[in-house]
């Protein structure tokens, strides 16, 4: 009887632990939850989706590698692509996505998106050693001081996550979602947590119009002096053009309103078409044949 009681208690505790899926805010070392935020610029409704990965894991996951691709489908709750996240992470996002579509205009120039992650205490250090991942409309010329980063990671964003955590299905499922029309979880433009990047964004625009690409920027504290510029680096290969399209290979986020799919991608070198490859091999063979004839002569 005692054994049955013990097993029942253990099962209950295990269920409670798995169901208690509260998001991790930016005050906890390395593990701030990465979210997708949608906000209607007509100040109708905002929505937030837990993407199922923490900041530290994303940074350490080699997601700048050429050819990396991850998709989050808000309708089906599935994650695809070619990384360890694909097939291993699921979300309960459809109810919030349906509510957002029903109450907000999800179209170009009326709705924006942003992807966020943060760590207020990088590697256990003190003195404001924080880190922030943020999708941004800026591809160059970004500027942010340590003080602005600290503000962005501080009370505004932490309160936003905690307020969102009380809404939707976050408390009941892993990787949930919520909508908001007021209060601390509402990202009304301008002035919402996402729009103003925690109150002091420097010149970084942390949201992008739906239908356009946003670049993923990693920002880290540079020492402890408030006025010093942070260290900033783009994910991807911003010095290369592997696919020869005339653009640098930044890692980008795109959100498709028609399908409800968020895509993260890093460009890769194009694979030659079979006909092109055959012509190239034939050319090499011809060069080899001519070289052989010259040696024979």
Q: pLDDT tens digits, residue range 275-285?
A: 544 555 555 55
Instruction: Return the top range by mean pLDDT from 1-5, 104-108, 109-113, 185-189.
Output: 109-113
Does residue 259 register a pLDDT over 70? yes
Reading the block at residue 110, the tokens are 């009326």
Count of CB atoms situated within 10 Å of the CB of 66: 15
Does residue 17 register a pLDDT over 50? no
pLDDT at 15: 29
pLDDT at 214: 92
Q: Tell me the mean pLDDT in the region 198-216.
A: 76
Q: How far apart are CA 212 and CA 59, in angstroms?
A: 24
pLDDT at 185: 86
In the block, tokens 């640098």 appear at: 248
Mean pLDDT of the chain: 76
Does residue 260 register a pLDDT over 90? yes
pTM comes to 0.80
Nearest to 114 by CA among 200, 215, 26, 188: 215
pLDDT greater at residue 211 or residue 30: 211
pLDDT at 11: 33
Instruction: Return the top range by mean pLDDT from 58-62, 231-235, 285-289.
Output: 231-235
Does residue 222 register a pLDDT over 60? yes
R_g of the chain computed on alpha carbons = 23
CA 253 to chain centre: 7
Burial of 20 (0-12, 13-18, 19+ CB in 10 A): exposed
Q: Tell me the mean pLDDT in the region 256-262.
A: 94
């Amino acid at each position: 009887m005692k054994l049955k009681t013990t097993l029942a208690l253990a099962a209950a505790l295990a269920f409670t632990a798995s169901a208690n899926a509260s998001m991790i805010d930016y005050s906890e070392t390395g593990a701030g939850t990465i979210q997708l935020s949608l906000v209607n610029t007509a100040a109708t409704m905002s929505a937030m989706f837990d993407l199922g990965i923490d900041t530290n894991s994303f940074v350490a996951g080699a997601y700048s590698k050429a050819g990396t691709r991850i998709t989050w489908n808000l309708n089906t709750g599935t994650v695809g692509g070619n990384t360890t996240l694909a097939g291993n992470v699921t979300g309960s996002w459809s109810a919030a996505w349906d509510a957002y579509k029903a109450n907000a205009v999800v179209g170009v120039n009326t709705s924006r998106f942003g992807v966020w992650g943060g760590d207020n205490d990088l590697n256990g250090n003190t003195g404001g050693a924080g880190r922030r991942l943020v999708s941004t409309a800026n591809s160059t010329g970004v500027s942010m001081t340590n003080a602005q980063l600290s503000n962005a990671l501080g009370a505004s964003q932490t309160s936003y996550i905690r307020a969102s955590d009380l809404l939707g299905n976050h408390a009941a499922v892993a990787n949930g979602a919520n909508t908001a029309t007021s209060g601390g979880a509402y990202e009304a433009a301008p002035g919402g947590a996402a729009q103003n990047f925690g109150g002091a964004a420097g010149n970084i625009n942390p949201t992008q119009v739906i239908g356009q690409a946003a670049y993923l920027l990693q920002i880290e504290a540079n020492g402890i002096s408030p006025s010093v510029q942070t260290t900033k680096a783009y994910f991807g290969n911003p010095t290369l053009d592997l696919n020869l399209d005339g653009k640098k290979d930044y890692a980008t986020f795109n959100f498709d309103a028609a399908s409800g799919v968020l895509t993260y991608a890093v460009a890769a070198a194009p694979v030659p078409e079979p006909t092109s490859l055959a012509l190239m091999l034939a050319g090499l063979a011809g060069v080899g044949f001519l070289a052989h004839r010259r040696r024979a002569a």
